[in-house]
Amino acid sequence: MDYQAKKISPLQHLVILAVALGGIWIAVKDFSLTREANANSTQADQIVISQPYEPITPIPLNLDLDPLKVELGEKLYQDPRLSHDNSISCASCHDLNKGGTDQVKYSTGINDALGGINSPTTYNSGFNFVQFWDGRAETLEAQAHGPVHNPVEMGSHWSEVIPKLKQVPYYRDSFVKLYPDGLTGDTIVDAIAVYERSLYTPNARFDQFLRGDRSALTKEEQEGYRLFKEYGCIGCHQGINIGGNMYQTLGVMDDYFVHRDVVEADLGRYNVTKRDWNLYQFKVPTLRNIALTFPYLHDGSAETLEDVLKVMWNSQLGRELREEEARLIVTFLKTLTGEYRGMKL
């Protein structure tokens, strides 16, 4: 009887065979994907995605940009001559050593003027579908006119900036060499925009994982990514920039603003369109290098990623925060720190 009981039925045979075949198929697929990724890892600018259906794509390892314009744009980005009193440069509020931000709630412009909205990162800004929290600039070129003329940022004007730049031989020569129009407001913002497109940060551990290197993330980090998708964070934070490709309302599931007075900056996209349905809508921010771009949210009210998650859970998902799951998601978010010019940020 004992022997009879242990005997495998034809149906069980089939099941075992199916499981074994499935296992072999997964193993072969895994192997070929890893091989594909390895074979291509020398071709720097080729994107290989091991999981073609992932809603996030890795940042290309190389972008083709005019190196002379990048160099010129970099000089301009660092140059305080773009401000009225020569005190503030783009880098003052978008410091590349601080994740492309100033790491404070609100930025300080000329004459110690305090802004009213958190400074977003310039890293990977070339991948955003529009610029600014409320999307009021469609392109980086359109954006860069803003801060120069903004009274609480650089408080200047091209007619004031251009004569100052013309006194510098490097600028005089470069603009003549690179642009038929020479040194103008438009060519200044063009060079800055080309430089900003060079501020892409590839090769985050998460991107290595997407390219097929399973060992790039720990089990906990992979679990964090799974939860990120399962909880629907991915519905808003997605694509190459893990954000930056749509507007969403802050407080879809509850009223984020019940605890404080609403100020103009909180109205979001409404400030641009004056349409009621755009109230409190913001461009979904990128989560790339998010470990470095604190404090968070347009009002800089969240100091840590844990603080932000409470808001996302309550206001964006309408759920109660679960400590352990939040911890795992934060672990995942920390794998999104990439490299700039080959160095980890």
Residues marked as catalytic: 153
> For ligand HEC, which is the closer residue by CB, 70 or 252?
252
Interface contacts to ligand HEC, rule CB under 6 A: 82, 88, 90, 92-94, 107, 109, 115, 117, 119-120, 122, 125, 128, 131-133, 140, 143-144, 147-148, 153-154, 192, 196, 228, 231-233, 235-237, 248, 250, 252, 282, 284-285, 287, 290, 293, 296-298, 305, 308-309, 312-313, 316-317, 329
Cα of 305 vs its chain's centroid, Å: 15
Q: Which is nearer to ligand HEC, 36 or 141 (CB)?
A: 141
**Calpha distance 248→268 (Å, rounded):** 10
Instruction: Select 37 or 119, whichever has its Cβ closest to ligand HEC.
Output: 119
CB of 179 to ligand HEC, least distance (A): 17
Shorter beta-carbon distance to ligand HEC: residue 33 or 201: 201
Q: Give me the least distance between CB of 100 and ligand HEC, in Å please.
A: 9
Measured distance CA(323)–CA(265) in Å, rounded: 31
Q: What are the contacts of 311-317 at 24+ separation with CB within 8 A?
A: 311/256, 312/233, 314/253, 314/254, 315/250, 315/251, 315/252, 315/253, 315/254, 315/256, 316/236, 316/248, 316/250, 316/251, 316/252, 316/253, 317/231, 317/232, 317/233, 317/253
> Residue 214 Cβ, how far from ligand HEC at the closest point, in Å?
22
CA distance 93 to 97: 11
Residue 84 — φ and ψ, nearest 5°? Answer: -55, -45
Nearest distance from C-beta of residue 290 to ligand HEC, angstroms: 5
